[in-house]
Amino acid sequence: MHVVVCGAGIAGLTLALQLHRQGTDVTVVEAAPGPRTEGWMLDFFGPGHAAAARMGLLPRLQELSRPVEELVWAGARGRPRARVPWARFAAALDGQLLSLLRPDLERALREQVAGRVTVRHGRRVVGFADGPGPLRVHLDDGTALEADLLVGADGLRSRVRAAAFGPVPLRLLGMHTAAFAVEDPALHAALGRRLWLTDTLDRMLGLYALEGARVAVFTVHRTPAPVPPADARAQLRAVFAGLGGLVPAVLARCPPPERIYCDVVAQVEPPRWSTGRIVLAGDACHAVSLVAGQGASLAVAGAAELARQLGTAPDLPTALAGYERTWRPVAAARQRAGRDGLEWFLPSRRTTLWARRAGLRLLAVPGAERLLLRGLLGGPDPPGGAPGHP
């Protein structure tokens, strides 16, 4: 069996690794010219953490994880409003929580597939022909790959999904997000090992110190705009103007728009996850968005589940049906939890902001963490794994 995976992101690399371990021939096609070095900080917990443990990836992920000592929420003028030791969050998740840069998670997976799986960088999948005979996967250089299965692991705006099912509208959550890095020794020193977040209405900016004098920045703000702006830097400067603390230094050093990741915050719910010899994985079929805080986790666990089904089911249709039957309810529950937790994630009302602040202060008290974590992380399920998942 030859599987072509479109996208060397978190889901695509996980799937490639697991299929290779099962003896399947895999080719990964990735649009980016090489591994990405830029990205955002991930809280990695839940089903993906459990899957990574089963896959033997945890020791490497622990090495690559970034220690955080404390989370600090600062008000509009920059004064700290709440502080929570990172250990409180980790304790609430029985220690099954890693703080990782997205490129580091990708790196751990790449190290495992290196020399074992062909990854073709700088090439895009543009379509496929799934008629009689071998499935043909068309690339943007005019060539085609023959395959027995094409997996669209190509993210929120999946090209494979569009080719298989036609346009599937994104479920917009009324926010934009951005991520980038700035270089500032003073800002870096001020942060230390803290994750610094604004505790503000309708907009949030988070900071974490990286190597050297680099600082990772992520932002989210409410807006009805259905597409990201042409000039992300101008938008960020307008939205976050007037905030104090560490924000002015970030806005002053904000890189040009082409070096800022910026997109709508959205989920996606395609009518089906597979058709014929085409199947979707990761954000392409179950994007939960950053408000659910588990997109990468679900990408790992869902891809591992797809590989398991392909390795154990008697035939392809049974494997693809089993994958969707098992995994879709898990992803749908996380999507719902993310939507239900929107107001907690980014308060739009002063009463929520105050209630959240009180909750965060309580979180610093030993023993209160389990109760409060569900609201703050937006997840009603037990964090260790997905209910009903093998």
Ligand X SMILES: Cc1cc2nc3c(=O)[nH]c(=O)nc-3n(C[C@H](O)[C@H](O)[C@H](O)COP(=O)(O)OP(=O)(O)OC[C@H]3O[C@@H](n4cnc5c(N)ncnc54)[C@H](O)[C@@H]3O)c2cc1C
Q: Considering beta carbons, is residue 218 or 369 the nearer one to ligand X?
A: 218
Give me the least distance between CB of 350 and ligand X, in Å please.
25
Residue 351 Cβ, how far from ligand X at the closest point, in Å?
A: 26
Q: Residue 81 contacts by C-beta under 8 Å, 6 or more apart in sequence? A: 73, 74, 75, 199, 357, 360
In the bound state with ligand X, the residue whose beta carbon lies nearer, of 7 and 359, is 7
For residue 275, the cross-strand partners are 278
CB of 266 to ligand X, least distance (A): 10
Helix (H) or strand (E) holding 316: helix 316-340
Nearest Cα neighbor of 378 from 278, 288, 300, 311 is 288
CB-CB contact of 123 with 31 (8 Å): yes
Beta-strand relationship, 2-6 and 25-30: parallel
Task: Tally Cβ neighbours within 10 Å of residue 382.
Answer: 13
H helix and E strand count, the chain: 15, 18
- Rank residues 189 and 220 by Cβ distance to ligand X and give the closer one: 220
Measured CA to CA, the distance from residue 385 to residue 178 in angstroms comes to 29
The CA-based angle 180-184-188, given to 5 degrees, is 90
- Closer residue to ligand X (CB): 359 or 378: 378
Nearer to ligand X, 30 or 324 (CB): 30
Smallest separation, CB 364 to ligand X (Å): 21
Give min distance, CB of 279 to ligand X, in A.
13
- For residues 62 and 318, which CB has a smaller minimum distance to ligand X in the complex? 62
CB of 38 to ligand X, least distance (A): 12
Pairing of strands 149-152, 2-6: parallel
Binding site for ligand X (CB under 6 A): 6-12, 29-32, 40, 42-44, 102, 124-125, 153-155, 159, 177, 179, 218, 282-283, 290, 293-297, 299
Nearer to ligand X, 79 or 295 (CB): 295
Shortest reach from residue 55's CB to ligand X, in Å: 15
CB of 47 to ligand X, least distance (A): 10
Burial (0-12, 13-18, 19+ Cβ within 10 Å), 253: middle
In terms of CB distance, is 282 or 378 closer to ligand X?
A: 282
By C-beta, is 251 or 296 nearer to ligand X?
Answer: 296
* Angular region, 282: left φ>0, alpha ψ -120 to 50, beta rest: left
To ligand X, the closest distance from the beta carbon of 204 in angstroms equals 11
Q: Are 190 and 74 a contacting pair, CB within 8 Å?
A: no
CA angle 132, 31, 223 (to 5 degrees): 110
Which is nearer to ligand X, 47 or 347 (by Cβ)?
A: 47
Beta strands 149-152 and 278-280 are: parallel
SS3 call for 371: helix
* Min separation Cβ 192 and ligand X, Å: 21
Q: What is the distance between the alpha carbons of residues 82 and 359, in angstroms, rounded to a whole number?
A: 9
